[in-house]
Amino acid sequence: MVITLASCNSNKSEKASDELAVYQCPMQCEGEKTYSEAGSCPVCKMDLQPIEVLETKVLDENSVSEESIFNLTSTWNTEEGEKIQLEDLKGKTLVMVMIYTTCKAACPRLVADMRNIEAQISKEKLDNLRFVLVSIDPKTDTSERLKAFAKENLMDGEQWTFLQGTESSVQEFANVLSVKYKKISPLDFSHSNIISVFNDKGELIHQQEGLGVDNKETVETILQLTQE
């Protein structure tokens, strides 16, 4: 209980108060020239207008947009035993799917779909890409287990990341992806088969639903995103 309360309190809004005001002539007599104080334009004598410039752009690059999954602040274990937050994956195009390693029916096919997508991406583009497999069974799928699963399925390369969360963080993550799942027995889940593509800012761009479906659109989305 203490932990949940603490997490509540840490969410108080933080705002960068030191945003610099920048002024510019509304007629742009001197082109893009800007001033750091209010005044009038030396050419046309009009009052300089405050503008929102570069600062916001810089902010955009560092901060996280409203629709980004990087707003989720939960901590995850990777298959390498590291602790990360989703934001640590920033800067790469993300292809995400929810699976569990004891799955016999759909997951092998979902995993095959992921590998199939990977095979269609050229080597140099793989650097800008991360395939992320999130376990819906955090109790069973420990770091070690995920690592073994990765090796078994030839998904142990740099571009593959496996994540173990907690029941609560997995539930939250599934809800962000609109993935539905239900525990049927201790080692078996029923779940939606959805592969989601996020841009490097963590914004959802494309979702592919179903098993063994034509992944052309998904691949095209990835190619577009990795080109930028």
Partner 1 sequence: MKTKAFSLIILYCVFQTFMFGQTEGMVYIEGSRYLPLYGRDSTVVEVKDFNMDIYPVTNKEFKQFVEKYPKWQKSKVIKLFADGNYLGNWENDLELKDTENPNSPVTYISWFAAKDYCECQGKRLPTVDEWEYVAMADETTKDARVKPSYNEQILAWYEAPRSNENLIGESPKNAWGVYDLHGLVWEWTLDFNSVLITGESRKDVDKDSNLFCGSASVNATDLMNYAAFMRYAIRGSLKAKYSMKNLGFRCVQDINK
Judged by the rule CB under 8 A, the positions of this chain that interact with partner 1 are: 1, 4-5, 7-8, 11-13, 66-69, 71-72, 105-106, 171-172, 174-176, 178-185, 190-194, 209-211
**Residue 57 one-letter amino acid:** K
> Judged by CB, which is closer to partner 1: 72, or 223?
72
**Cβ proximity to partner 1, 28 vs 75, nearer residue:** 75
Residue whose CB is less far from partner 1, 135 or 226: 135
Shortest distance, CB of residue 67 to partner 1, whole angstroms? Answer: 5
The β-bridge relationship of strands 129-135 and 93-99 is: parallel
Nearer CB in complex with partner 1: 154/184: 184
Nearer to partner 1, 174 or 222 (CB): 174
CB of 223 to partner 1, least distance (A): 24
- 162 phi, psi to nearest 5 deg: -115, 140
CB nearer partner 1, residue 99 or residue 121:
99
Q: Which residue spans within 81-177 are E strands per DSSP?
A: 83-85, 93-99, 129-135, 160-164
Alpha-carbon distance of 162 to 141, in angstroms, equals: 10
| Shortest Cβ 34–partner 1 spacing (Å) | 29
* Long-range contacts of 114-123, Cβ-Cβ distance < 8 Å, separation of 24 or more: 114/155, 114/195, 115/153, 115/154, 115/155, 116/215, 117/195, 117/215, 117/218, 117/219, 117/222, 118/159, 120/215, 120/219, 121/219, 121/222, 121/223, 121/226
Cβ neighbour number for residue 49 with a 10 Å cutoff: 13
From the CB of 160, what's the least distance to partner 1, in Å? Answer: 22
Beta strand spans in 113-166 (E):
129-135, 160-164
Task: Say whether 153 sits in a helix, a strand or coil.
Answer: coil
CB of 91 to partner 1, least distance (A): 19
